[in-house]
Chain A
């Protein structure tokens, strides 16, 4: 069974391709691709005419939370996968902060198996960096890595003790494992609920100061340098944090950075009248910081953009702002968010798609995330200019706590392929 997709506009950040063309898929693998108008392949058993839509690698998301196991009312791997595919995400790394925590081999295997059985997207488990995410004892990093855990993280609660963190990173380095950590000094950020500053003060809300992120980042990159551990600084919100990562890289540390898509779109003022859907951690920062992040994305100092998908049911959000749970549903809005920035002229198409395709693929060493011979045929067809109104009631995630609710976005996925098979069509 071979499939050709023709009359498409190929976008492949790995090679910088942004031109008309087509691909030939055979047994789930990209067999051939060519640029040029009127491209076709001989011997394809099925043809899809893309009608000029963009054809790009499916997105790879390094940070999604689901509720499986233990919080299936929020999201399961199956519902997360459905939401992801409709948003063009074909591979997702799921966080270990579930109930129970994914902190041993059997649970890593459980997630991997449930992913294969119930989800059409490729699901990669992340392992808990410490047992129970308690930040005290390191988990079985080596064996979990063997079982399929692609990275190790303490999730939303970074390890507070520098000593525990150092040992975990040193050990992880020896097993070739990647550690992902939120740069966040909780002793500073502790009770905060939104970006610290004038707006928080005026609204009587306690703030999460940027220096908590900087101090956390300084610690983590220092330990990465000392231990040789590959480190992903998770959900950076300021340029200064990216600079801290740059300096560490200059000293030979293996440091990568990610930014949550919503941090490229919203600023602290979007919290407005205590809108809990805009309560996320790290918080939306100032408009100037948001603009600077986009500039950094242009310049390539951000390795990956993540969904930071964190489904929360109404009972966690229909509360006073200070009491509501952090988190935003994000799987379905990463690509539209980026494409809207492209439509607004903030980013080129290649700049927008690099951190969601080849960027994360390179960090994890995955073969997908590119249009290349023998790469898995995880592809998306999207309409880059299609305007649509985000209505949370129409999102596919089981929880619809999206800050994009009511926003006009541009760009939408029309069809998603995983291993050459159509798994979503709009």
Chain B
């Protein structure tokens, strides 16, 4: 496998967030993921580095997409996979996150992939188990594999990350993707500009590495190499955080006219699932500048790399 740096070794026991990673870690994960992406495109089976290993997907929040992505990644590398959508199981009967974790830990898995609705959920779990914990989204905190797949997608299309202008637009306040992706892009030298309604822009985004956070999308777009739209949760739309879906689309929806403000070769991204006609026009989502399906493809590659590094011995 390609190494980012001659003396480099990946030293983390868990992947809980982008915070705490070094640019060399990120480069290393992306390099490894790139080789997995290439192998898949060529129709090659990767080396089964996870043979005999058990990966447990523990999803306290429903997410078919992310869970399937991890499941496919783990299986491609030869792992045994148990997926537990616990959103409807014993946890609802009063068993706590820690109890569930202790129970699973006793079954000796090699990696736990966790999604939980509480910020810090993955971190809490990592303190109580002996295996690697991969955060697949904790509340409104972090979603590191999403950030890594975003970076891989950008790097493959743009051939670099450093120096690019990335505009991220939408519900920044409640988005774990915005946090993780902003931090990761900043670490790798991109310039990140955040944009959204005033009620959904949290304080202190400069500490994540964002260069600006504003409410004027049109002003942010010129010169953008990447435009990343975030999903707007329907419950935030009806007068609580912003007046209406219609008004949101007027100021923050990505239309052809708006996209024309970005660089001519600027690409469009979305972590999914999309609200077509709410944050993005369908023709843009499906247009030639959209790399949204590539993001999904890179998701599997990044998760193969992360599982390999954390559960499969060091690469």
Judge: A and B partners, yes or no: yes
Residues of A within 8 A of B (CB): 196-199, 201-206, 273-274, 315, 318-323
If A197-B203, A318-B96 touch, whether A202 touches B179 (CB-CB below 8 Å) is yes
The interface residues of chain B lying within 8 Å CB-to-CB of A196 are 203
B139-150 vs A: 1/0 string, CB under 8 Å?
A: 111100000000
Residue from A202, A204, A274 having most chain B Cβ neighbours under 10 A: A204
CB pair A318 B98 closer than 8 Å: yes
B208 touches A (CB below 8 Å): yes
If A320-B118, A321-B118 touch, whether A201 touches B96 (CB-CB below 8 Å) is no
The interface residues of chain B lying within 8 Å CB-to-CB of A204 are 119-120, 138-142, 176, 179
B170-201 vs A: 1/0 string, CB under 8 Å?
A: 00010010010000000000000000000000
- Can you list 6 contacts pairing A with B, beta carbon distance less than 8 Å? A196-B203, A202-B207, A204-B142, A319-B124, A320-B124, A322-B139
B197-234 CB contacts (< 8 Å) to partner A:
202-205, 207-208
B123 touches A (CB below 8 Å): yes
Residues of B within 8 A of A (CB): 96-98, 116, 118-121, 123-124, 138-142, 173, 176, 179, 202-205, 207-208
Complex CA gap A322/B60 in Å reads 15
CB pair A203 B203 closer than 8 Å: no
CB pair B202 A201 closer than 8 Å: yes
A-B contact count (CB 8 A): 65
Complex CA gap A207/B179 in Å reads 17
The interface residues of chain B lying within 8 Å CB-to-CB of A201 are 173, 202-205
B205 to chain A, nearest CB (A): 8
Closest 5 interchain pairs by CB?
A: A198-B204, A204-B141, A320-B118, A274-B120, A201-B202
B99 to chain A, nearest CB (A): 9
Besides A201-B202, A319-B124, 6 other CB < 8 A contacts?
Answer: A203-B141, A205-B139, A274-B123, A318-B98, A322-B120, A323-B118
Task: Determine which of B98, B120, B124, B205 lies in contact with A203 in the assembled complex, contact meaning CB atoms within 8 Å.
Answer: B120
The interface residues of chain B lying within 8 Å CB-to-CB of A323 are 118
CB pair A274 B124 closer than 8 Å: yes
Complex CA gap A320/B118 in Å reads 6
The interface residues of chain A lying within 8 Å CB-to-CB of B118 are 319-323
Residue from A203, A205, A273, A315 having most chain B Cβ neighbours under 10 A: A203
The interface residues of chain B lying within 8 Å CB-to-CB of A315 are 96
CB pair B207 A320 closer than 8 Å: no
Complex CA gap A197/B205 in Å reads 11
Give the residue name and chain of the A residue nearest to B208 (CB): A202
If A197-B203, A202-B207 touch, whether A319 touches B97 (CB-CB below 8 Å) is yes
CB pair A273 B139 closer than 8 Å: no
The interface residues of chain B lying within 8 Å CB-to-CB of A205 are 119-120, 139-141
A424 to chain B, nearest CB (A): 35
Residue from A199, A201, A206 having most chain B Cβ neighbours under 10 A: A201
CB pair B116 A320 closer than 8 Å: yes
Complex CA gap A243/B98 in Å reads 44
CB pair B204 A320 closer than 8 Å: no
A185 to chain B, nearest CB (A): 17
B270 to chain A, nearest CB (A): 20
Complex CA gap A320/B204 in Å reads 23
If A204-B139, A204-B140 touch, whether A274 touches B119 (CB-CB below 8 Å) is yes
Complex CA gap A201/B138 in Å reads 13
The interface residues of chain B lying within 8 Å CB-to-CB of A198 are 202-204, 207
The interface residues of chain B lying within 8 Å CB-to-CB of A199 are 204
The interface residues of chain B lying within 8 Å CB-to-CB of A274 are 119-120, 123-124
The interface residues of chain B lying within 8 Å CB-to-CB of A318 are 96, 98
The interface residues of chain A lying within 8 Å CB-to-CB of B97 are 319-320
The interface residues of chain A lying within 8 Å CB-to-CB of B121 are 320
The interface residues of chain A lying within 8 Å CB-to-CB of B142 are 204
Complex CA gap A101/B97 in Å reads 31
Complex CA gap A201/B174 in Å reads 9
Give the residue name and chain of the B residue nearest to A206 (CB): B140
A270 to chain B, nearest CB (A): 15
Complex CA gap A273/B126 in Å reads 12
B15 to chain A, nearest CB (A): 15
Residue from B118, B139, B207 having most chain A Cβ neighbours under 10 A: B118
Complex CA gap A323/B138 in Å reads 13
Complex CA gap A315/B141 in Å reads 23
Complex CA gap A196/B204 in Å reads 11
The interface residues of chain A lying within 8 Å CB-to-CB of B176 are 204
The interface residues of chain A lying within 8 Å CB-to-CB of B141 are 203-205
Complex CA gap A205/B138 in Å reads 11
The interface residues of chain A lying within 8 Å CB-to-CB of B119 are 203-205, 274, 320-322
If A204-B141, A318-B98 touch, whether A273 touches B202 (CB-CB below 8 Å) is no
B167 to chain A, nearest CB (A): 19
Give the residue name and chain of the B residue nearest to A273 (CB): B123
